[in-house]
Amino acid sequence: PVIHNYAATNLIPRHLGPEYIIHGAKLYSPWDPTKTEVTLVVSEWFFDRSLHLIEHLDDKDHPFSEVVVMVPPAAAAHDDYDLMTEVPVRTQHRGAPDFMDLCEADIKTDWFMITNSYHHVARHVDLMFTPGTFKPVIPFTPATYAFCFKYPYCKETINLAQRFNPGHDKVVQDMDMLYNTEMRNAFCKEWKEENGEEGELMYKSQQRRLMFRKKIIGPPGPTGTSYYAWLVREGKDGMYKLTDRSLYGARPPFVKIFAKEEKLDGMSEDELAKRIGMTLLDNSTDCNCMEFETETDCEDSGIGCIWRPLFESCHPPELIDGSAPICPTTEAPTSAPTVSMDGIFDETDSPTSSPVEPEPEKDPWYVSVFKSRESEKDRSNSFNEANGGSMQSPDDDEILGSEKASRARRAMLKKSKSFEAVDLQANERLLASPDNL
C-alpha cells in the first residue's frame, strides 16, 4: 500500500511496512544492546516451570543478557542451564518471601525486568526508547473507575502508591516496567523502612478496615506502581517516558502460558477440595490468543483468534473489529462450570414453599358463653340418660308418678331457669358491645 493508517499506535522501525506515507504513528527507537544491558528476573517455586521459559529463550527476539531465577530456599539449583540456552542463567535462593523478589534479586546490570515461571518471553520483546535521549517508554493505565477502581486489587495498589506520592493516578504493571537497578535499591530501602523487611507493616494501620472485612485484597509487597510513585516524589520520573496504554495500546513482553496452574498452585488444600475435589469440576479454562505465536497456531486455535502479520501477533477478534468477546468474561474466580450439569438433577420450577395451614378464625368474645351453655346441656342430657329417661317425655301428660322421678324433674326445671338467666345476660352483653353502639 502507498499509505497506511497507524493512528494511536506506538511503533519501532520493525513494525513499518513498504508504504510510503504513514499516518498517526508514534515512532520510537528499539533497544540498543551497546547502550543497555538488561537482566531478566524469573520468580520460581517448586515445579520447575521456569525451564519452559529458559528452553525457548533462544527462539525469541529479546534484550536479556542474563537470567536470574529466584527459587525457594529448599529448592535444588540446576547446573545444566547452559544446555538449554546461550544466555547466562544463575539461581538465587530467596532469603525473603516471594513477593519481595523485586527488591531481593541480585542484579549486576543497570536495568532489569521481572516475570514469573507461569509466563514465557514473547516472540518479540519490543522495548521502546525515545529517540536521542534514549529514555525507556513505559505503558501505564489511568487510575479511573473503568480501568482500575472497580477492581479491589488495583484500587489497593493505588492506595499504597499514594503513600509515596499523594494524588498518584497511574498504574504501571510490574512486568511492563524496565527497572533501573540503582533507583530500585533506593526505593526498596525506603519501602522496607516504611513497611518492614517482609512487608509485615503494610496493613498494620488498617485495623479499622479489617473490622469490616475479612481481609484486604491488595499486593503483599512492592510493586511497579509504587516504584514509579516514589520516582515522581523524588523528581526522578523524568528518566522514563510514559504512554497511556488505553489510548496507544501496549505489547506485553511476557505471555502467560500456565494460567490454570497459576490459579491451582495458589490455592490451599481446602480451597482445592472445594474447587475440584468436591465438585469434580475444573472451572478454569484457557482462552488466550496471545499464547499463539505463529500464524498457523493462531488460525488453528479453534477459538476464533486473528493473526496480525504486521506485528506478528495473535489477537481476539474483539480487539480488531469491536465484536463480542470470544472468551467468557467473569469475575475471578469463575463460577460457571465447564461441564454440563444436564441430567444430574431433576428439573424444577421456582423453589416451592412448604404448605402452611391457614390460621383458624378466632371466635367472637361472646361465643364462650354459649359454649358453656352447650356444655351444661350435654351434662344434663347425660344426667337424664343415667336416670333412664329424658327431661321431657313424648307426651307431657304422661308423667312418671314415682316420687324419685318427680324430684328429678323439679331439679331439672330449676336448672332450666338458670340457663335462661345466663342466656339473657349474654344477649344483654351482645347488645351492649362496641360494634352495636
State residue 396's pLDDT score: 43
DSSP class per residue in 391-414: SS-SSTT----SHHHHHHHHHHHH
Which one-letter amino acid corresponds to residue 149? F
Cis peptide before 13 (omega within 30 of 0): no
State residue 213's pLDDT score: 65
Residues facing 124 on adjacent strands? 61
State residue 315's pLDDT score: 77
State residue 435's pLDDT score: 47
Kind of pairing between the strands at 313-315 and 306-308: antiparallel
State residue 14's pLDDT score: 76
Stretch (H or E) spanning 23: strand 21-27
CB neighbours of 188 closer than 8 A, spacing ≥ 6?
102, 103, 222
Q: What is the 3-state secondary structure (H, E, C) of 96-148?
A: CCHHHHHHHCCCCCCEEEEEECCEEECCECCCEECCCCCCEEEEEEECCHHHH
State residue 211's pLDDT score: 64
Handedness of CA 271, 274, 276, 281 (dihedral sign): negative
The CA distance from 17 to 3, in Å, is 10
C-alpha grid cell for residue 260?
A: 490454570
Residue 141: φ, ψ to 5°: -110, 130
The CA distance from 247 to 85, in Å, is 37
State residue 376's pLDDT score: 53
The CA distance from 389 to 405, in Å, is 9
CB neighbours of 78 closer than 8 A, spacing ≥ 6?
48, 51, 91
C-alpha grid cell for residue 59?
A: 527462539
**Is the CB of residue 87 less than 8 Å from the CB of residue 57?**
yes
pTM for the structure as a whole:
0.67
How many angstroms separate the first and last alpha carbons of the chain? 101
CB neighbours of 415 closer than 8 A, spacing ≥ 6?
376, 380
Stretch (H or E) spanning 272: helix 269-272
**Is the CB of residue 188 less than 8 Å from the CB of residue 236?**
no
The CA distance from 70 to 92, in Å, is 5
Residues facing 419 on adjacent strands? none
Residue 207 burial by CB count (10 A; 0-12/13-18/19+): exposed, middle or buried?
A: exposed
Sheet with strand 179-180: strands edge to edge? 89-93, 64-71, 38-43, 111-116, 179-180
Tell me 78's DSSP state. Answer: P
Q: Which stretches in the chain have pLDDT values below 70?
A: 1-7, 15-24, 207-214, 272, 274-287, 310-311, 319-437
The CA distance from 330 to 62, in Å, is 33
CB neighbours of 339 closer than 8 A, spacing ≥ 6?
281
